[in-house]
Structure 1
Amino acid sequence: MTDVHGSARDGYAREAKAYAHGRPDYPEGLLGWLGEALEISHGKQVADLGAGTGKFTALLLRSGAQVTAIEPVAAMREQLSAALPAVKVLNGTAQAIPLAAQSLDALTCAQAFHWFADERSLGEIHRVLRPGGHLGLVWNVRDERVDWVAEVTRIVERYEGSTPRFHTGEWRQAFAGARFEPLRLREFSHQHVGPPEQVIVARLLSVSFIAALPDERKHWVAEQLRELIASHPALKGRTEVAFPYRTEAYSTRALD
Structure 2
Amino acid sequence: MTAIHHAAAQGFSTQADAYARGRPDYPAALADWLRGTLGLAPGQVAVDLGAGTGKFTRLLASTGASVIAVEPVDAMRAQLSSKLPDVQALPGSAESMPLPDASVDAVVCAQAFHWFANEAALREIGRVLKPGGRLGLIWNVRDESLPWVAQLTAIMTPYEGDAPRFYKGDWKKVFPAEGFGPLALTTLPYTHDGHPEQVIVDRIMSVSFIAALPAAEQDAVRARLHAVIADDPTLRGHDTVSFPYSTEAYCCARL
Other-structure match for 1:198: 198
Does 2:12 correspond to 1:12?
A: yes
Question: Residues of 1 paired with 2:193 and 2:17: CA distance?
Answer: 18
CA positional deviation for 1:176:
3.5
Superposition deviation, residue 2 in structure 1: 4.4
Show structure 2 runs of 5+ residues with no match. none
Name the structure 2 match of 1:246: 246
Matched to 1:101, the amino acid is: D
- d(CA) in 2 for partners of 1:43 and 1:143? 37
Question: Quick one: distance in 2 between partners of 1:40 and 1:145?
Answer: 34
Alignment gaps of 5+ in structure 1: none
1:59 & 1:146 partners in 2: Cα distance? 28
Matched, 1:103 2:78: no
Give yes or no for contact 2:11–2:209 (8 Å, CA) kept in 1. Answer: yes
Which segment is superposed worse, 3-12 or 176-185? 176-185
Match of 2:35 in 1: 35
1:139 paired to 2:129: no
| Equivalent AA in structure 2 for residue 76 of structure 1 | M
Answer whether contact 1:191 1:245 (CA < 8 A) is retained. yes
1:161 deviates by: 1.0
The structural deviation recorded for 1:13 is 0.2
| 1:37 Cα deviation from its structure 2 partner | 0.7
Q: Is the 8 A contact 1:129 1:254 kept in 2?
A: yes
Q: How does 1:64-213 map to 2 (within 5 A)?
A: 64-213=64-213
Tell me the residue number matched to 2:44: 44
Check the 8 A contact 2:2/2:93 in 1, yes or no.
no
The one-letter amino acid paired with 1:152 is L
Question: What is the TM-score with the length of structure 1 in the denominator?
Answer: 0.98
**What's the TM-score, normalizing by structure 2?**
0.99
1:228 and 2:228 correspond: yes
Question: What is the CA RMSD across the aligned residues, in angstroms?
Answer: 0.8
Identity %: 53
Question: Could you tell me how far 1:88 is from its partner in structure 2?
Answer: 0.3
Work out whether residues 8 and 208 of structure 1, in 8 Å CA contact, stay in contact via their aligned partners in 2: yes
**Residue pair 1:210, 1:218 contacting (<8 A) in 2 also:** yes
The Cα shift of 1:116 comes to: 0.3
Task: Confirm or deny: 8 A CA contact 2:176 2:182 kept in the other structure.
Answer: no
**Contact 2:2/2:95 (<8 A) preserved:** no
